[in-house]
Amino acid sequence: MYNSFDNPGLVKVLSFLKSHDTEYLSGQDLSDVLKISRVAVWKHIKKIKELGYTIDSKQKLGYRLADNTKLLLPWEITTNLNTKWIGKRVYYFDSIDSTQAQAIKMANNKKENGTVIIAEKQTSGKGRLGRKWMSPKGGIWISLIFHPEFNITATMLFPVAVSLALSNAIEKSTNIKPKLKWPNDVTINGKKIAGILVDISMESNRIESLVLGVGINFDVNTKQIEKVLKKSPNFYGADSIKKNDKNAQPLTLVQTFLKELENIYEYLNTSKFEEIVKEWTKRSSTIGNEVAISDGNEIIKGKAVRIDHDGALVIVSKSKTKRVMVGDVTT
C-alpha cells in the first residue's frame, strides 16, 4: 500500500526529476539540491523505477525521467488536483479484496472525510444489489469516504448525483459523451462503462458515514467481462473508455471526476436538487422511454416520466403513477 503523505523523500526526488526531464541529473546533484544522502537518492530512484516510471540512467551523466508511470499512484492524484478537500488523502493498493470494504473499515475516522482509496485490481469487487463486480487491471476502482451533513433527500439523490458528476468528468476529459441509465449507470452505446455503489452507515437517525464506490471500465477486456457476465440477470453489456477514446488518460479522468464530485457535493449540501435532476435528465437514456424495472422480486412496466428529488424513478402505466426507489432498468 502507498499513500499520499508517507513518502516525502521519494516524492521530492520524483518531482525534481519531473521538472528537469530534459536533462540528466547526477546522484550527487540530486543529493546536494534535495539535501538527502546519495544512498537515499539511489534507493528512491530504485523504487521510482519499480513503480513503473521509466528512468534513463547514463554513466557519468546521471538520471533522467523518460516516461511517467501508468499507475494511479497517490502522489500522482494529489499533485495538480484542484479540489478544496476531496482527494487530499489517497491510499493506493496494487491488489485488494475491495476498495469499498477497505473504505468502510476506515470510515469511522473523521480525519478521512474526502479520502480516496484506489486499487489497480480487486479480487472481490462489490456491485449494486449484492452483485459481484469484475475488477481486473486496467480499470479504475475507487472508493471515497464522506461524513456528510446531508438531509435525507440529498442522501437519497447522492448516487444519482455522482453518476452525473462522473459523466461530466468523462465528457470533459475524453471525447466521449456518455448517457445515464437509472439509477446510476454510466453507459456508452447502450453498454455499461461505469457503475456506482453507495454504502451508508447511520447512527441514531444521522449519517455516520457514506462510502462511495465507483468502478470505471477504463481499459479492461470487455469481451472477457461480457463472456463471464452474459448470463447474469440484468446484464446488458460492457464497454470501455479506451475503446471509445484511444487518447483518454486515466489520471486526468480521476482528477476531473474528483473536482466534479466536489461541485455536486456542494449542490447537495445547498439543496440544489432541481438543478441536479435537470442535468441528469438531459443525459438520461431512461426518461421518456417504455421501461421494465426489476427490483429482484417483481417487474414493473411503464413509461419512465421523470425522477423525483430523492432519485426515485416515476413510472406511468395505464394512467397509474408509481415511484420506484430501487432496481434495475432492464429495457
Give every strand in the sheet of 140-146, ordered side by side.
Answer: 2-3, 90-96, 116-122, 140-146, 206-216, 191-203, 185-188, 179-181
Helix (H) or strand (E) holding 143, with range, is strand 140-146
213 is a contact residue toward ligand BTN (CB under 6 A): yes
Q: Mark the segment that binds ligand BTN (CB under 6 A) among 21-29, 82-90, 141-149, 202-210.
A: 141-149
Work out how close the CB of 135 gets to ligand BTN at its nearest, in angstroms, rounded to a whole number: 6
Could you please report the per-residue DSSP string of 283-323?
HBSSTTSEEEEE-SS-EEEEEEEEE-TTSPEEEEETTEEEE
Among 12, 44, 126, 243, binds ligand BTN (CB under 6 A): 126
Work out how close the CB of 107 gets to ligand BTN at its nearest, in angstroms, rounded to a whole number: 13
The label of the residue with cell 539511489 reads 42
74 is a contact residue toward ligand BTN (CB under 6 A): no
Among 74, 114, 178, 215, binds ligand BTN (CB under 6 A): 215
Work out how close the CB of 136 gets to ligand BTN at its nearest, in angstroms, rounded to a whole number: 11
Q: Mark the segment that binds ligand BTN (CB under 6 A) among 63-71, 83-91, 138-146, 223-231.
A: 138-146
Taking alpha carbons only, the member of 254, 283, 276 closest to residue 188 is 283
Work out how close the CB of 7 gets to ligand BTN at its nearest, in angstroms, rounded to a whole number: 23
Contact status, residue 76 vs residue 94, Cβ threshold 8 Å = no
Among 197, 264, 313, 324, binds ligand BTN (CB under 6 A): 197
Site string for ligand BTN, 79-118 (x = CB under 6 A): -------------------xxx------------------
Q: Mark the segment that binds ligand BTN (CB under 6 A) among 47-55, 65-73, 137-145, 174-182.
A: 137-145
CA atoms within 13 A on the CB side of 64: 10
The CA-based angle 291-125-154, given to 5 degrees, is: 55
Compare residues 44 and 128 and give the one whose CB is closer to ligand BTN: 128
183 is a contact residue toward ligand BTN (CB under 6 A): no
211 is a contact residue toward ligand BTN (CB under 6 A): no
168 is a contact residue toward ligand BTN (CB under 6 A): no
Taking alpha carbons only, the member of 76, 18, 11, 12 closest to residue 249 is 76
Q: Give Dmax (Cα) for the chain.
A: 82
280 is a contact residue toward ligand BTN (CB under 6 A): no
- Applying CB under 6 A, the site for ligand BTN has a residue count of 20
The residue whose Cβ lies closest to ligand BTN is 195
Work out how close the CB of 253 gets to ligand BTN at its nearest, in angstroms, rounded to a whole number: 14
Work out how close the CB of 271 gets to ligand BTN at its nearest, in angstroms, rounded to a whole number: 26
155 is a contact residue toward ligand BTN (CB under 6 A): no
Among 62, 74, 87, 125, binds ligand BTN (CB under 6 A): 125
Helix (H) or strand (E) holding 191, with range, is strand 191-203
Cell triple for residue 304? Answer: 419512465
Compare residues 262 and 328 and give the one whose CB is closer to ligand BTN: 328
Omega within 30 of 0 (cis) for the link into 183: yes
- Tell me how far CA of residue 240 lies from CA of 65, 119, 197, 245, 271, in angstroms: 30, 18, 18, 9, 33
- The span from the first CA to the last CA of the chain, in angstroms, equals 41
Return residues touching ligand BTN (CB under 6 A).
Answer: 98-100, 122, 125-128, 131, 133, 135, 141-143, 195-197, 213-215
